[in-house]
């Protein structure tokens, strides 16, 4: 009879749980080959929901300088200093990887991908980048309501400082240990995704505030040196502190990653119990390949994906009561981007469940 304690004969009974969040953490990581610092990162991610590392690529400084010099002309810093900061504008550029090789290089760092596979037990791939020249000042949130998976928690973010950051220029904030809480979605907060006027992350923010108070979670800031990176678990509560010093920038990049052999969906737009799930079409930004939704090694049938999406109302034309000026007022990030309100709503806003009227 095989020894129940033998690593040679042992098989992980929970392959649908990320290794780093598994109750079998010790056994899983005792049998892994780790590079220097990897195991310590795993313990930190397990216990705190984040791990701080030095970005591993030797040419990081050159990549950071290239990103800043290329993206700087695209930002309205004067407008942000004049009134954007006080409106909570972050000047973010989404998916700059499409036309900036340095952004793509940071997101697709081979060393980062190897570390993530070590932590989660599955191959990782980047699907989105966000670049910021100033603090986000974003309300704390979990990525899990925006980007989730089945099995859950196979998603993470990697944030990296492109310059030194302290309490004066909008540092990242987080609540250590909050990742251990359940992932709360629409069914838990009593929200129906088709309730058009009460959608988006804002719907969750009162719950998160009360959760932090009830659980006694402590808020911490990350005062990062240029080149320091922070890996966070999908359910870690995190956000951005107020950017106090208007004469300083706060350059950073966030890359979001999924892992192989999952379904990928947006809980904000989903009511699974009602037969509605916004399954996403995902692309590996390093290869350009579309990643299929998979379940236990099987491709999810396209007709199932279509049926699950069918419950999500898709507008081909803007609604009759759509007001462009009000939409831009409600969404200052869209106004700052200088895009047409109606076009943004049809392309992004309706799928992000952005309200277009009060």
Of the two residues 348 and 197, the one the predictor is more confident about is: 348
Mark whether 121 and 48 lie in a shared domain. Answer: yes
Q: How many residues does the structure list for the chain?
A: 358
Three-state secondary-structure class, residue 127: strand
Report yes or no on 16 lying in a domain.
no
Mark whether 220 and 124 lie in a shared domain. Answer: yes
Rounded-to-integer distance, Cα 15 and Cα 22, Å? 9
Q: Where are the beta strands (DSSP E) in 64-133?
A: 93-94, 124-132
Q: 258: domain CATH number?
A: 2.60.120.620
Rounded-to-integer distance, Cα 60 and Cα 124, Å? 20
Mark whether 304 and 327 lie in a shared domain. Answer: no
Report yes or no on 8 lying in a domain.
no
Contact 179, 216 (CB under 8 A): no
Rounded-to-integer distance, Cα 269 and Cα 65, Å? 37
- 93-134 tens-digit pLDDT: 999 999 999 999 999 999 999 999 999 999 999 999 999 999
- 277-333 tens-digit pLDDT: 989 999 999 999 999 999 999 999 988 888 887 665 556 678 888 899 899 999 988
Report yes or no on 26 lying in a domain.
no
For 184-242, the DSSP string reads: --HHHHT--TT-TTS-SGGGTHHHHHHHHHHHTPPPEEE-PPTTEEEEEETT--EEE--
| Token pair for 25 | 């953490």
Residue 320: give the domain boundaries: 314-358
Mean pLDDT, the chain, whole residue set: 92
Report yes or no on 333 lying in a domain.
yes
Mark whether 196 and 337 lie in a shared domain. Answer: no
Mark whether 40 and 149 lie in a shared domain. Answer: yes
Mark whether 56 and 131 lie in a shared domain. Answer: yes
- The whole-model pTM stands at 0.85
Mark whether 332 and 290 lie in a shared domain. Answer: no
Rounded-to-integer distance, Cα 227 and Cα 165, Å? 11
Report yes or no on 3 lying in a domain.
no
State the pLDDT at residue 192: 86
- Per-residue pLDDT at 351 exceeds 80: no
- Per-residue pLDDT at 194 exceeds 70: no
Mark whether 299 and 253 lie in a shared domain. Answer: yes
pLDDT-derived band at 29, boundaries 50, 70, 90: very high
Report yes or no on 78 lying in a domain.
yes
* Number of folded domains that form the chain: 2
Mark whether 286 and 165 lie in a shared domain. Answer: yes
Report yes or no on 322 lying in a domain.
yes
Mark whether 38 and 166 lie in a shared domain. Answer: yes
Evaluate the CA torsion angle 345, 349, 350, 351 in order and state its sign: positive
Report long-range pairs for 70-75 (Cβ below 8 Å, ≥24 apart).
Answer: 70/100, 70/102, 71/96, 71/100, 71/131, 71/133, 72/133, 75/133
- Per-residue pLDDT at 343 exceeds 60: yes
Mark whether 206 and 346 lie in a shared domain. Answer: no
Rounded-to-integer distance, Cα 328 and Cα 339, Å? 10
Report yes or no on 230 lying in a domain.
yes
Rounded-to-integer distance, Cα 105 and Cα 155, Å? 19
For 251-308, the DSSP string reads: -EEEEEEEESS-EEE-GGG-BGGGTB--B--EE-TTT-PEEPPEETTEEPPHHHHHHH
Hunting for tokens 């991610």 — which residue is that? 45
Strands 252-259 and 220-222: unpaired
Mark whether 206 and 318 lie in a shared domain. Answer: no
């Amino acid at each position: 009879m095989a020894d129940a304690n033998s690593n040679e004969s042992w098989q992980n009974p929970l392959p649908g749980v990320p290794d780093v969040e598994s109750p079998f953490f010790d056994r899983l990581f005792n049998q892994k080959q780790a590079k220097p610092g990897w195991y310590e990162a795993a313990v930190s991610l397990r216990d705190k929901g984040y791990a701080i590392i030095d970005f591993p690529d030797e040419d990081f400084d050159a990549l950071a300088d290239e990103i800043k010099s290329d993206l700087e002309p695209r930002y309205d810093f004067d407008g942000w200093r004049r009134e954007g900061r006080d409106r909570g504008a972050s000047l973010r550029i989404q998916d700059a990887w499409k036309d900036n090789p340095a952004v793509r290089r940071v997101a697709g760092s081979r060393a980062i991908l190897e570390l993530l596979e070590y932590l989660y037990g599955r191959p990782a791939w980047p699907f989105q980048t966000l670049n910021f020249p100033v603090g986000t000042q974003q309300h704390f949130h979990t990525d899990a309501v925006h980007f989730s998976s089945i099995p859950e928690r196979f998603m993470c973010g990697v944030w990296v400082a492109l310059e030194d950051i302290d309490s004066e220029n909008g540092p990242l904030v987080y609540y250590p240990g909050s990742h251990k809480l359940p992932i709360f979605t629409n069914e838990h907060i009593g929200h129906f995704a088709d309730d058009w006027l009460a959608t988006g992350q804002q719907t969750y923010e009162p719950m998160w505030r009360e959760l932090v108070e009830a659980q006694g979670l402590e808020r911490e800031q990350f005062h990062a040196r240029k080149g320091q990176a922070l890996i966070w678990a999908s359910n870690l509560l995190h956000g951005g502190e107020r950017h106090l010093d208007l004469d300083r920038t706060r350059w950073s990049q966030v890359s979001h990653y999924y892992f192989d052999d999952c379904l990928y969906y947006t809980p904000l737009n989903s009511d699974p119990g009602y037969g509605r799930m916004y399954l996403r079409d995902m692309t590996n930004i390093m290869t350009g390949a579309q990643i299929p939704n998979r379940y236990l090694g099987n491709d999810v049938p396209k007709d199932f994906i279509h049926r699950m999406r069918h419950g999500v109302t898709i507008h081909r034309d803007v609604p009759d009561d759509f007001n462009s000026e009000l939409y831009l007022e409600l969404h200052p990030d869209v106004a700052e981007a200088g895009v047409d309100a109606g076009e943004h709503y049809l392309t992004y806003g309706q799928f992000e469940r952005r309200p277009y009227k009060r």
